[in-house]
Amino acid sequence: MEVIEDILKLLKTKQTYVLTTHIHADGDAIGSLLALGLALLNSGKNAVMIHSEPVPESYRFLPGAEQVRLVQDLKEEKFEVGIALDCTSLSRSGDAEQVLQKADCIINIDHHISNEFFGHINMVETEAAATGEMVCNLLVKGGFTVTPDIATNLYTAIITDTGSFRHQNTTANCFRTSAYLLECGADHSCIQHHLYEQRSLESLRFLVNVLQTLSLNENGMIAWMTISKDLIKEEDNSEGLIDYAKSLKGVEVAILFKELDSGEIKVSFRSKSFVDVNQLAAHFGGGGHERAAGCSIKGNLKEVEQLVIRKAEEYLAKRRAAE
């Protein structure tokens, strides 16, 4: 409670803010960024929303998305307050890190268990279903008006991070928050339409190609898929694909490997019931949640694939031996 009061004091008394979120942004990241940014702008503050990459196409329908500026387009400006949303570390904000570091004060708002508490003020609530849920609570306690545009962004944040209320992080509180956001005018139909009913033919063909890489380990408890650079040239919308691997009967750990132009392999982890994939990701310098985490590893795609699967099998073996 004291942390919230400290943040609200800054949001009420300061005038200039820069807000950002993590690279490879998902719905919670973009939704939280836009919601808090719009709330500050509506309050007459000078708030600038920035990101290292363009807003993903699937989230450009969100109110205010056109106001997010690329870091390289930002002039030399200094802000009183820098706000990082849904970032486990300052480096996760990519090029925006250098802008945040120039701020007089950095506020860190996140719900990941692997958060590094890098801010001057850290609002980290690992029990929250989404950072958007935390932002909603912050706005309500601060007396900010939750407009339909803000509500739509926050509802999207919660919907995407809970897998439409299917994931284990779904709580009674996130249902209450979602109901409140609908009362505030969150456009449920618009969100569902853009997120789940606007697939392109190319994206479905991309899905077919990725599913063809689906593999299982010997005991059928680990499933993985691979997205090579060649596939990415055709289409680059991998969000949610890992759930296909996780949905297989008997699978406990699902892994998605994505080859990046930087020479890194982005690795996403999901687990069903007992493997803490946050620890698995942490072994490779990443992190996240108990049931959803990720990391990036430099190296050859096949070699990284073998390395990660071997480590996942070790984790599974240790857990089963301890039972």
The pTM assigned to this predicted structure is 0.86
Order the strands of the 81-85 sheet from edge to edge.
69-70, 46-51, 16-21, 81-85, 105-110, 121-124
pLDDT at position 263 over 90: no
pLDDT at position 162 over 60: yes
Q: Taken in order 43, 44, 45, 47, is the CA torsion positive or negative?
A: positive
Q: What is the pLDDT of residues 9-24, one digit of tens each?
A: 999 999 999 999 998 8
Choice between 1 and 65, residue whose per-residue pLDDT is larger: 65
Q: What is the pLDDT of residues 83-140, one digit of tens each?
A: 999 999 999 999 999 999 999 999 999 999 889 999 999 999 999 999 999 999 999 9
Choice between 265 and 234, residue whose per-residue pLDDT is larger: 265
Cα–Cα–Cα angle for 40, 165, 277, nearest 5°? 95
Q: What is the pLDDT of residues 206-216, one digit of tens each?
A: 999 999 999 99
The confidence score (pLDDT) of residue 230 equals 80
The confidence score (pLDDT) of residue 15 equals 96
The confidence score (pLDDT) of residue 237 equals 66
CA distance 43 to 15: 10
Query: Would you state the structure tokens that stand for residue 12, as one six-digit string?
Result: 């009420």
pLDDT band, residue 323 (cuts 50/70/90): low
With tokens 């803490």, the residue in question is: 276
Buried (b) or exposed (e) across 143-174, using 16+ Cβ within 10 A? ebebbebbbbbbbbbbbbbbeeeeeebbeeeb
The confidence score (pLDDT) of residue 236 equals 59
pLDDT at position 1 over 70: no
Average pLDDT over residues 165-172: 91
Q: What is the pLDDT of residues 265-294, one digit of tens each?
A: 999 999 998 888 999 999 998 888 888 889
The confidence score (pLDDT) of residue 234 equals 53
Query: Would you state the structure tokens that stand for residue 157, as one six-digit string?
Result: 């944040």
Chain mean pLDDT for the chain:
92
Average pLDDT over residues 303-314: 94
Q: What is the pLDDT of residues 58-74, one digit of tens each?
A: 899 999 999 999 999 88
Q: What is the pLDDT of residues 26-41, one digit of tens each?
A: 999 999 999 999 999 9
Q: What is the pLDDT of residues 170-205, one digit of tens each?
A: 999 999 999 999 999 999 999 999 998 988 888 888
Give me the domains of the chain, ranges plus CATH numbers: 2-196 (3.90.1640.10), 201-322 (3.10.310.30)
With tokens 């019931």, the residue in question is: 273
CA distance 284 to 182: 40
pLDDT at position 249 over 70: yes
